[in-house]
Amino acid sequence: MTVTGFTPEQRDAVLLRDGGMCAMRGTHDQCRGRADDANHRLNRGAGGTSDRGTGKNGMGNACAICFVCNGLIESDPELAAIARHRGVKLEQGDRPELVALWSPFFRQWVQVTDHALYLLGETDLTARPEILDTETGEIAL
Interaction mask 68-87, Zn ion, x per CB under 5 A: -x------------------
User: Is residue 31 a contact point for Zn ion (CB under 5 A)?
Assistant: yes
Rounded Cα distance, 107 and 87, in Å: 14
Q: Are 17 and 59 in contact (CB under 8 A)?
A: yes
**From candidates 66, 98, 100, 131, binder to Zn ion by CB under 5 A:** 66
User: Please, what is the minimum distance in Å from the beta carbon of residue 32 to Zn ion?
Assistant: 5
- The 3-state secondary structure of 92-103, one letter per residue: CCCCHHHECEEE
Is residue 63 part of the contact set for Zn ion (CB under 5 A)? no
Question: What one-character DSSP code corresponds to residue 85?
Answer: H
As measured in angstroms, the least distance from the Cβ of 39 to Zn ion is: 10
For residues 69 and 114, give the distance between their C-alpha atoms in angstroms, rounded to a whole number.
23
Residue 36 CB, nearest approach to Zn ion (Å): 8
Task: Tell me which of 14, 24, 79, 110 binds Zn ion, using CB under 5 A.
Answer: 24
- Closest to Zn ion by CB, 42 vs 69, is 69
Distance (Å, whole) CA 31 – CA 58: 25
Question: Cα–chain-centroid distance for residue 71?
Answer: 15
Contact residues: Zn ion, CB under 5 A: 22, 24, 31, 66, 69
